[in-house]
Amino acid sequence: MGYAATIASKRYVFSDLRTLLARASPLRSGDQLAGLAAASAVERMAARLALADLPLRHFLDEAVIPYEADEVTRLIVDTHDGAAFASVAHLTVGEFREWLLDDATDTAALAHVAPGLTPEMVAAVSKLMRQQDLISVARKCRVITGFRDTIGLPGRLAVRLQPNHPTDDPRGIAASLLDGLLYGCGDAVIGVNPAGDSVPAIMDLLRRLDEVRERFEIPTQTCVLTHVTTTLQAIERGAPVDLVFQSIAGTEAANRGFGIHLALLAEAQAAALELNRGTVGRNVMYFETGQGSALSSQAHQGVDQQTCEARAYAVARHFQPLIANTVVGFIGPEYLFDGKQIIRAGLEDHFCGKLLGVPLGCDVCYTNHAEADQDDMDALLTLLGTAGVTFIMGVPGADDVMLNYQSTSFHDALYLRGLLGLRPAPEFEAWLAQVGITATSGALQGLPPQIAAALEDLTGGRP
Among 332, 388, 394, 424, binds other proteins (CB under 8 A): 332
Inter-residue contact 395 to 118 (CB < 8 Å): no
Distance of CA 202 to the CA centre of its chain: 23
Measured from the CB atom, is 9 or 441 closer to other proteins? Answer: 441
**Complete DSSP assignment for 81-121:** -HHHHGGGTT-BHHHHHHHHH-TT--HHHHHHHGGG--HHH
Tell me which residue of 259, 256, 332, 320 sits closest to 290, measured CA to CA. 332
Tell me which residue of 44, 12, 7 sits closest to 127, measured CA to CA. 44
Among 94, 172, 240, 281, binds other proteins (CB under 8 A): 172
For residue 11, the 8-state DSSP code is: E
Measured from the CB atom, is 202 or 316 closer to other proteins? Answer: 202
For residue 444, the 8-state DSSP code is: B
The site that binds other proteins (CB under 8 A) totals a number of residues, namely: 62
CA atoms within 13 A of residue 56's CA, in its CB half-sphere: 24
Under rule CB under 8 A, which residues in 367-396 are in contact with other proteins? 367-369, 373-374, 395-396
165 binds other proteins (CB under 8 A): yes
32 binds other proteins (CB under 8 A): yes
455 binds other proteins (CB under 8 A): yes
Query: Contact region for other proteins (CB under 8 A) — 53-61, 82-90, 105-113, 177-185?
Result: 177-185
Under rule CB under 8 A, which residues in 50-89 are in contact with other proteins? none
Measured from the CB atom, is 29 or 283 closer to other proteins? Answer: 29
Alpha-carbon distance of 435 to 157, in angstroms, equals 20
Find all residues with CB under 8 Å of 378, minimum gap 6, and list them: 412
Measured from the CB atom, is 302 or 446 closer to other proteins? Answer: 446
Q: Residues of 264-297 as b/e, b for ≥16 C-beta within 10 angstroms?
A: ebeebbebbbeeebbebbbbbbbbbbbbbbbbbb
Alpha-carbon distance of 156 to 213, in angstroms, equals 21
Query: Contact region for other proteins (CB under 8 A) — 17-25, 57-65, 164-172, 345-353?
Result: 164-172
Inter-residue contact 377 to 400 (CB < 8 Å): no
462 binds other proteins (CB under 8 A): yes
Q: How many CB atoms lie within 10 A of CB 87?
A: 14
For residue 127, the 8-state DSSP code is: T
Among 302, 446, 453, 457, binds other proteins (CB under 8 A): 446
Under rule CB under 8 A, which residues in 343-362 are in contact with other proteins? none
Which x/- pattern, by CB under 8 A, does the window 188-227 give for other proteins?
-----x-xxxx--x--------------------------
Measured from the CB atom, is 77 or 443 closer to other proteins? Answer: 443
Query: Contact region for other proteins (CB under 8 A) — 72-80, 146-154, 325-333, 340-348?
Result: 325-333
Tell me which residue of 225, 341, 206, 344 sits closest to 277, measured CA to CA. 206
Under rule CB under 8 A, which residues in 416-435 are in contact with other proteins? 418-419
Q: Give me the torsion for CA of 452, 456, 461, 463, rounded to 10°.
A: -60
Cβ of residue 182: shortest distance to other proteins, in angstroms? 7
Which x/- pattern, by CB under 8 A, does the window 234-273 give for other proteins?
----------------------------------------
Under rule CB under 8 A, which residues in 293-322 are in contact with other proteins? 296
Measured from the CB atom, is 91 or 402 closer to other proteins? Answer: 402
Q: How many CB atoms lie within 10 A of CB 236?
A: 10
39 binds other proteins (CB under 8 A): no
179 binds other proteins (CB under 8 A): yes
Beta strands per DSSP E along 162-243:
189-192, 222-224
- Give the footprint of other proteins on this chain (CB under 8 A): 29, 32-33, 163-169, 171-176, 178-179, 182, 193, 195-198, 201, 296, 330-334, 337, 367-369, 373-374, 395-406, 409, 411, 414-415, 418-419, 446-447, 455, 458-459, 462-463
